[in-house]
Amino acid sequence: MRLTTKGRFAVTAMIDLAMHAQERAVKLNAISQRRQISLSYLEQLFAKLRRAGLVESVRGPGGGYVLARPPEQINIAEIIFAAEDRLDATLCSGKANCERGQACLTHQLWENLNRTINDYLSGITLAGLLDEQQQHHEHTISITHIH
């Protein structure tokens, strides 16, 4: 499985953007500071996210980035695929030529894993992750007030 920091950071940055872009565009340096992700790395990621139609750039004073669609219409698979280009558990990149030009004995296993992961990530939206984050935050606050 090749889920690299590109995919992980892209999801993290998109959640941050969704949390903070409700009132105005978000500058990448703000995300960089909040999430401890290099600004130049974020610039590369957001170029890919923009090409994939997931974010839009806003120019001028108060400029930055906003989501291109509502968070309930953006799923995690889209974000990872935009950043990673491909999320693949096979050694042959899905070409089925891993063993002397033929599919290896476990090719179908890894292809099925790819489908399962894609289905799982496609079923999770930014809005769903935002809700989880909010619930976790509220739970943490209530626990600290009890002690």
Categorize the per-residue pLDDT at 54 as very low, low, confident or very high, splitting at 50, 70 and 90: very high
Instruction: Give the integer Cα–Cα distance in Å for 147 and 50.
Output: 45
pLDDT, residue 89, reads 77
91, pLDDT greater than 80: no
Q: Within 10 Å of residue 138's Cβ, how many Cβ atoms?
A: 10
CA dihedral 47, 49, 51, 54 (to 10 degrees): -140
- Per-residue pLDDT reduced to its tens digit, 128-139: 999 888 776 665
Instruction: With cut-offs at 50, 70 and 90, classify the pLDDT of residue 100.
Output: confident
Q: What is the pTM of this model?
A: 0.83
Which is more confidently placed, 96 or 16?
16
**Structural contact between residues 132 and 71, judged by C-beta atoms closer than 8 angstroms:** no
Mean pLDDT of 101-126: 89
- Counting every residue written for the chain, the total comes to 147
Domain map (residue ranges) of the chain: 5-144
For 30-44, the pLDDT digits (tens) are: 999 999 999 999 999
- As assigned by CATH, the class of the 5-144 domain is mainly alpha
Buried b (16+ CB within 10 A) or exposed e, 85-124: eebbbbeeeeeeebeeeebbeebeebbeebeebeeebeee
Give backbone dihedrals phi and psi of 39, rounded to 5 degrees, phi first. -60, -45
